[in-house]
């Protein structure tokens, strides 16, 4: 980053290589931050949806619908925070090219906010990234640059950002600083406040997956800081490092395999992950996530992605646990994103069969549980 200032001997403004003065740089930053604040203020309220569990259970289940964000996912809020921080620190300036290593919701949100403040954006994506995913990024003026092998897109994004004198927006490394977990404005605080308003008391459990790890960390730290009685459960897909790391206490755990549930699960433990604030961690079979996702779509009409299916599966397991223990109360979780991006994948029977993901036995588990309260997972 280049700094600008005043030559105290001659009183003249020191300029950046692009010719802009300190005043011009600061004015642009103020305008960019104003646009980001205006965008946040213009967002409609995020609703809390109740899933109809049997009334006799005395257990209620709520979903905060983050799919209604302008770019359709929970990542929208995270990326806005990261963009604000980068502008304040001067890492993003007028004309800066923002670079990210992602083909998913984080890249879509970054493209949206880069367009909003008027800077170019390049998403470094794996070579096998589908045209549909690329189009979602390009819709907001972003440009996709393919690179292989997929695991190397992060190093390539760093190299490219340096080459164009831009800024590498590393949402994995920076996510931990994105939210104020003490205050009332984080996603966890908002979710807990909505449930308290609805139920008249704190949620008994919150169920979260982990992608960057920042959401579960924010929720868990908020719960502990404010001494809420709420417990936090983590759901983790196959091939992810988070559940085994929580079990073993080893933060260097790695699987070497990518998650098949988009949005959650990582082959390594990311910096934002905070296992010490998690009360229970549950591995979720990928086929169970698909079964739960499809059940929600079929029974409620909610348009949800696979990570929401993971949340729902975990919430049902918590509901069973509460009933077994004679507990009553509420469970809260998130709709992380919508279904539109997954019509040709997780909602496509042929795509599922190619990957040997049969949701049928897990669908039977859900149906049986909601009918007679018996929980029996496939062996």
Segment 67-78, tens digit of pLDDT: 999 999 999 999
The tens digit of pLDDT for each residue in 155-199 reads 999 999 999 999 999 988 887 777 788 878 889 999 999 999 999
Asked whether residue 356 falls in the same domain as residue 340, the answer is yes
The tens digit of pLDDT for each residue in 259-316 reads 999 999 999 999 999 999 999 999 999 999 999 999 999 999 998 999 999 999 999 9
Q: Residue 24 has what pLDDT?
A: 87
Could you say which of 132, 158, 175 is where a domain stops? 175
> Omega of the bond prior to 149 within 30 degrees of 0, cis?
yes
Q: Residue 30 has what pLDDT?
A: 96
Q: Where are the beta strands (DSSP E) in 131-196?
A: 143-147, 167-168
Q: Residue 256 has what pLDDT?
A: 85
Average pLDDT of every residue of the chain: 92
Asked whether residue 124 falls in the same domain as residue 216, the answer is no
Q: What is the side-by-side order of every strand in the sheet holding 121-126?
A: 143-147, 121-126, 98-101, 167-168
Looking at the structure of the chain, the number of domains it has is 2
Asked whether residue 301 falls in the same domain as residue 223, the answer is yes
The tens digit of pLDDT for each residue in 49-106 reads 999 999 999 999 999 999 999 999 999 999 999 999 999 999 999 999 999 999 999 9
Asked whether residue 134 falls in the same domain as residue 202, the answer is no
Quick one: pLDDT band at residue 9, thresholds 50, 70, 90? very low
Percentage of the residues of the chain whose pLDDT score is greater than 90? 82
How far CA 169 is from CA of 91, 227, 358, in Å, comes to 9, 34, 37
Quick one: pLDDT band at residue 242, thresholds 50, 70, 90? very high
How far CA 83 is from CA of 46, 76, 113, 177, 276, in Å, comes to 21, 11, 7, 12, 28
Asked whether residue 152 falls in the same domain as residue 194, the answer is no
Asked whether residue 121 falls in the same domain as residue 191, the answer is no
Q: What CATH number should be reported for the domain holding residue 104?
A: 3.40.50.1100
Q: Is residue 250 part of a domain?
A: yes
Asked whether residue 68 falls in the same domain as residue 85, the answer is no
What is the value of pTM for the model shown?
0.92
Q: Which domain holds residue 102?
A: 75-175
Res. 7: pLDDT tops 50: no
**CB-based burial label for 321 (10 Å; 0-12, 13-18, 19+):** middle
Please answer whether residues 156 and 365 qualify as being in contact, where contact means their C-beta atoms are separated by less than 8 angstroms: no
- The phi, psi pair for 259, rounded to 5°, reads -70, 145
Asked whether residue 219 falls in the same domain as residue 81, the answer is no
- The predicted model gives 344-356 an average pLDDT of 94
- The predicted model gives 142-156 an average pLDDT of 93
């Amino acid at each position: 980053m280049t700094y600008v200032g005043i030559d105290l001997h001659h009183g003249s403004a020191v300029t950046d290589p692009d010719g802009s003065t300190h005043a011009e740089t600061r004015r642009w930053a103020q305008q960019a931050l104003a646009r980001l604040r205006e965008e946040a203020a213009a967002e409609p309220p995020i609703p809390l949806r109740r899933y109809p569990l049997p009334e006799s259970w005395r257990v209620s289940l709520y979903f905060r619908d983050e799919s209604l964000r302008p770019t359709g996912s929970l990542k929208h809020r995270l990326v806005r925070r990261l963009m604000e921080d980068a502008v304040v620190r001067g890492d993003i300036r007028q004309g800066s090219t923002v670079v990210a290593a992602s083909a998913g919701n984080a890249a879509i949100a970054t493209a949206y906010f880069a367009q909003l403040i008027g800077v170019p954006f390049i998403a470094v994506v794996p070579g096998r990234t589908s045209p549909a995913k690329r189009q979602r990024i390009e819709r907001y003026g972003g440009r996709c640059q393919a690179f292989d092998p997929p695991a190397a897109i992060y190093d390539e994004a760093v190299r490219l950002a340096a080459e164009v004198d831009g800024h590498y927006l590393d949402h994995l490394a920076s996510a931990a600083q994105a939210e104020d977990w003490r205050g009332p404005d984080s996603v966890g605080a908002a979710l807990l406040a909505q449930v308290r308003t609805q139920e008249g008391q704190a949620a008994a459990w919150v169920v979260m997956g982990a992608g960057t790890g920042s959401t579960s960390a924010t929720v868990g730290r908020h719960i502990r800081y404010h001494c809420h009685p709420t417990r936090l459960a983590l759901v983790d897909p196959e091939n992810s490092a988070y559940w085994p790391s929580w079990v073993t206490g080893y933060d260097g755990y790695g699987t070497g395999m990518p998650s098949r549930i988009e949005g959650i699960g990582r082959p390594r433990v990311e910096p934002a992950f905070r296992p010490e604030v998690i009360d229970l961690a549950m591995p979720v079979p990928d086929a169970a996530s698909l079964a739960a996702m499809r059940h929600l779509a079929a029974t409620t009409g909610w348009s949800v992605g696979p990570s929401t299916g993971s949340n729902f599966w975990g919430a049902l397991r918590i509901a069973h646990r509460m009933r077994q223990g004679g507990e009553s109360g509420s469970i809260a979780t998130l709709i992380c994103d919508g279904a539109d991006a997954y019509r040709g994948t997780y909602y496509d029977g042929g795509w599922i069969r190619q990957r040997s993901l049969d949701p049928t036995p897990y669908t039977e588990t859900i149906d049986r549980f909601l009918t007679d309260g018996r929980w029996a997972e496939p062996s």
